[in-house]
Structure 1
Amino acid sequence: MSELRQVFDDLVRVETALWNAVDTRLREDCGLPLGRYESMTVIDRRESCRVNDIAADLIITVGAVSKLVDRIAAAGHCVRRRDPADARSSIIELTDTGRALLAHAHNVVETELAARVDEVIPRRALTDLASTLGILRRRRG
């Protein structure tokens, strides 16, 4: 197996294992699936967040995001407001309940990642990995 293929296999397997571990903790501690957490994080960090913004940030389809936002709204964690600049679009905002849940969820995610990554990889290697993955992510197009 080539080195590139090994890197690909390892990245995919590690991502899957991390996703599953964090998802399990979020569901247990917050009743929040990781996909919804990820979407809520995008909503929280944007001034005016639209479905297209979430799709672009998470690299998933607009249809998938629309369904995620519907579920987050049904749970009372976000609302859609008409975009004053574009009547065809909505601005998505977290509710106070959604912001409180997200703050708790951030702590759960940080704790799980610390146990699974930070305690295993030396700080310098983690910094190098973050830099390398950032380069790869920016080249996604």
Structure 2
Amino acid sequence: MEYNSAIDLPGFFGDLVRCETRLYNALNDRLRERHGIVTSQFEFLRYLREHPGSRVADLAVEFAIGIGATSKAADRLEKQGWVARQANPSDRRSSLLVLTEDGRRLVDAAEATFTDRLGELIADLPSLTDMARAFAGLRAALERDQIGMPSG
């Protein structure tokens, strides 16, 4: 597939990355202010709410980050009392991660804050539906072809 040569691809990439960084930081600030968590913690908790009994490896694949970083993040969530580890009945070498009741309450409250703030930040964008569809398609293609996965 060829790209539209009228598009400055390095500029497009720069815009994409800077938008992601600024949105992430703005959401981070709001979540920290209102709930005492950061965006990455919210995303992990939300994933675990939707996928109870996930392994650290499942989170690593979902967020395209290394196993070590994912395990440390899960340890921090467990230390806060938001996540508990359970024995994995099908593999004694791994454990399953589940939200605690405190974790569920936190992620439910934080999701409302997250959604409201993100809605404020993107409310005036034209063609938001087309943009969302394009980004979902790009993500699906990258994930399908396992592009950009961490090596460790």
- TM-score norm. by structure 1 comes to 0.94
Q: Answer 1 or 2: which has greater helix percent.
A: 1
The SS at the match of 1:88 is: coil
Q: What is the letter of the counterpart of residue 38 of structure 1? A: E
Match of 1:105, SS state, is helix
After the TM superposition, list the runs of 4 or more consecutive aligned residues in structure 1 that deviate by more than 3 angstroms: none
94, 100, 105: which is aligned to 2:99? 94
Distance 1:13 1:52 in 2: 28
Cα shift readout 1:57-103 (whole Å, capped 9, x = no counterpart):
11111111100100000000010001001101100000000000000
The whole-number CA distance in structure 2 between the counterparts of 1:103 and 1:34 is 14
* Higher relative strand content: 1
What residue in structure 2 maps to residue 127 of structure 1? 129
Asked which structure has the greater RCO (Cα within 8 Å, sep 6+), the reply is 2
Aligned position for 1:12: 17
Contact 2:54–2:98 (CA<8 Å) still a contact in 1?
Answer: yes
Q: Any gaps of 5 or more consecutive residues in structure 1?
A: none
Q: Could you report, residue by residue, the CA deviation over 1:102-127 in whole angstroms, capped at 9, with x for unpaired residues?
A: 0000001001101101x2113xx111
Q: Give the aligned residue type for 1:104.
A: A
Report the count of equivalent residues.
138
- With normalisation by structure 2, the TM-score equals 0.87
